[in-house]
Every structure is written in structure tokens, then in C-alpha cells.
């Protein structure tokens, strides 16, 4: 019993050490634009099949392979990950703000939380908040949404190009979407990265209902 406070202190110190690895967030750039409405960043209507290559890295391991995303507008997605070379597979179900990753623990380890996972697919889905600041810099619109954590969204035109989670004044996690469909998720505090490179997109008529069952 006497060792429990010491153990808790070690956990707190470890958490502070991890957070200290994350960079401090800069002030939101651009000119104030309180009347500007954010672009509608959602999933296009219908059912979509996206094939991609993925790479995962952290201080302890790395992995790569093929992936498949099946997306049903407006708020359902299944993502399958196949590890090279035939080393196994796992999948995640993302429905609304619920993320379920049955099977191998590695999948849950390298996936971002729901708001950032939605951002990899181009959808802005963060907790609603009255604390929203919008600034504009040419065609770039940026918004800080919420408070501890702050969700910082960046739009180039109508496209969601970046979403960051800022906690305690530090950028803890972010997703960056390049114009060529390359997507990079970074957990800066834990030094984890997941990169997705889309190789094919197609619109399909629908999916078998069984794919949404864990």
C-alpha cells in the first residue's frame, strides 16, 4: 500500500515527459473572420471503396502493408489493414464517434482517435463547441474549436487539409492530407506515425451488411 502514491507519481511524471515531447502550438495565423462559415467537410453521398498502402512507425517497431476502406456516407467506415508479407490482418469499424477495433491489438495501437481518423477520410467530425475562433489567410481558412483539447482545422478552399489536437498548449496529434491523397497521422508526443497512400478510389452500389458487425 505504501508504494501506491510513489507509483502514481511515476505515472504522472511519465505523462508529463511524454507531453513535453510535443511541440508548443503557435498562435492561430491569419486575419480574424468571425462571420466566416467553415467549409462543409463531409463524406460525399453514396458508397466508396478506397485502396491504399500504409506504413506505421514508432520508437519500438514499424510495419507496412495494403489497406482497404469501405465508406458509407455520411458517417460509417470500415478500414482493413493487411500486414506485409502475409503477416496478418486487422480491421476497424468507425460509426459516428464510435471506434471498434476487434482482433489484433496492433490495429488499435496505430489508429488515431475518431475525430482524427475521420480527418484521414476528409471529414470534420469534432465535438461541437461554442468556443470557436476562425481566421483567414488568402484561400486558407483555419479554426480553433473547443478548449483543452482544442481542435485546430485547416482548410484549403473547401478541402480539409489538416486537423490537430492541441492539449495544454501543445500539439499532441495531427492529421495532414496532401493534394495527392497522401495522408499522414502523427502522435507527436509518443512519436508514432501512420502514413496512408491512396492507390485507387471507386464509387460502388453498396456493401454487404455483415461488414459492419464486429
128 occurs within a structural domain: yes
213 occurs within a structural domain: no
pLDDT tens-place string over residues 77-123: 999 999 898 778 889 999 999 999 886 666 777 789 999 999 999 99
112 occurs within a structural domain: yes
| CATH, residue 82 | 2.50.20.10
Contact assessment for residue 161 and residue 154, using Cβ atoms and an 8 Å cutoff: yes
pLDDT tens-place string over residues 27-63: 999 999 988 888 888 899 999 999 999 999 999 889 8
Q: Which domain does 91 fall in, by range?
A: 18-23+37-204
| C-alpha span between 192 and 4 (Å, rounded) | 30
3 occurs within a structural domain: no
Contact assessment for residue 100 and residue 214, using Cβ atoms and an 8 Å cutoff: yes
174 occurs within a structural domain: yes
How many folded domains does the chain comprise? 1
48 occurs within a structural domain: yes
Assign 130 to helix, strand or coil: coil
Assign 3 to helix, strand or coil: coil
Structure-block grid coordinates of residue 78 = 470500415
147 occurs within a structural domain: yes
Assign 179 to helix, strand or coil: coil
32 occurs within a structural domain: no
Amino acid at each position: 500500500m505504501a508504494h501506491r502514491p510513489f507509483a502514481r507519481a511515476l505515472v504522472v511524471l511519465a505523462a508529463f515527459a511524454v507531453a513535453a515531447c510535443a511541440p508548443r502550438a503557435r498562435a492561430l495565423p491569419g486575419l480574424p473572420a468571425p462571420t466566416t462559415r467553415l467549409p462543409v467537410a463531409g463524406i460525399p453521398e453514396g458508397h466508396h471503396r478506397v485502396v491504399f498502402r500504409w506504413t506505421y512507425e514508432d520508437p519500438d517497431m514499424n510495419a507496412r502493408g495494403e489497406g482497404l476502406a469501405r465508406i458509407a456516407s455520411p458517417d460509417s467506415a470500415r478500414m482493413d489493414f493487411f500486414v506485409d508479407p502475409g503477416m496478418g490482418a486487422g480491421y476497424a469499424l468507425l460509426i459516428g464517434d464510435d471506434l471498434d477495433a476487434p482482433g489484433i491489438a496492433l490495429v488499435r495501437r496505430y489508429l488515431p482517435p475518431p475525430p482524427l481518423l475521420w480527418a484521414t477520410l476528409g471529414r470534420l467530425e469534432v465535438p461541437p463547441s461554442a468556443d470557436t475562433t476562425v481566421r483567414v489567410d488568402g484561400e486558407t481558412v483555419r479554426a480553433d474549436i473547443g478548449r483543452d483539447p482544442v481542435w485546430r482545422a485547416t482548410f484549403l478552399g473547401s478541402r480539409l487539409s489538416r486537423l490537430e489536437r492541441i492539449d495544454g498548449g501543445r500539439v499532441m496529434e495531427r492529421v495532414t492530407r496532401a493534394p495527392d491523397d497522401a495522408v499522414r497521422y502523427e502522435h507527436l508526443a509518443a512519436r508514432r506515425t501512420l502514413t496512408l497512400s491512396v492507390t485507387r478510389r471507386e464509387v460502388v452500389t453498396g456493401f454487404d451488411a455483415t461488414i459492419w458487425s464486429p
